[in-house]
Amino acid sequence: MGNDSSNKEVEIPLYEVFIRSANGLEHRHVGSLHAADAEMAIMNARDVYVRRNEGVSIWVVPSACITASDPSSKEMLFGPSRDKIYRHPTFYNLPEGVRNI
């Protein structure tokens, strides 16, 4: 840091951490941590989130790079799937005796 910033430290950036617990499974969000860069974020994630065989692969993403949906737009984003019940197999009545369908 330059001299001008010596009395006010810059906060070390926040990263979100995703762990794949075993091959064959997807990465899952486990939490976050602070790191100066992605490489350090991986190292820190190793120390914080996989001390006991919790995973085989780590992803880190700067938290600032994540765009999340707004809970108030829930209707717009998730509403339609409820009123289009014909998208679900249970919507259809089949005659008795039909098999394997």
Partner 1 sequence: MYNQSLDKGPLKDDGRDQDEDRRIEFEHNVLAGYTVEPKDWMPEGYRKTLIRQMSQHAHSEVIGMLPEGDWILRAPTLKRKAILLAKVQDEGGHGLYLYSATETLGVSRDLLYEDLLHGRAKYSSIFNYPTLSWADVGVIGWLVDGAAIMNQIPLTQCSYGPYARAMVRICKEESFHQRQGFELLNEMMNGSEKQKEMVQNSVNRWWWPTVMMFGPEDKDSVHSKESRTWGIKRVTNDELRQNFIDVTVPQAEILGVDLPDPDIRWNEERGHYDFGEVDWTEFWRVVSGHGPCNRDRIEAKRKAWEEGVWVREAIMAHALNEKVVDRHG
CA distance between the termini of the chain = 67
State which of residues 3, 53, 66, 68 lies at the interface with partner 1 (CB under 8 A). 68
**Is 48 near partner 1 (CB under 8 A)?**
yes
Give Rg (Cα) of the chain.
Answer: 23
Tokens 């910033």 -> residue: 5
Taking CB under 8 A as the binding criterion, the range among 18-26, 33-41, 81-89, 93-101 that sits at the site for partner 1 is 33-41
Q: Is 52 exposed, middle or buried (0-12, 13-18, 19+ CB in 10 A)?
A: exposed
Taking CB under 8 A as the binding criterion, the range among 18-26, 67-75, 78-86, 88-96 that sits at the site for partner 1 is 67-75
Tally of helices (H runs) and strands (E runs) in the chain: 3, 3
State which of residues 25, 36, 64, 77 lies at the interface with partner 1 (CB under 8 A). 36
Residues that bind partner 1 (CB under 8 A): 1, 9-12, 14, 31-34, 36-37, 40, 47-48, 51-52, 68, 70-72
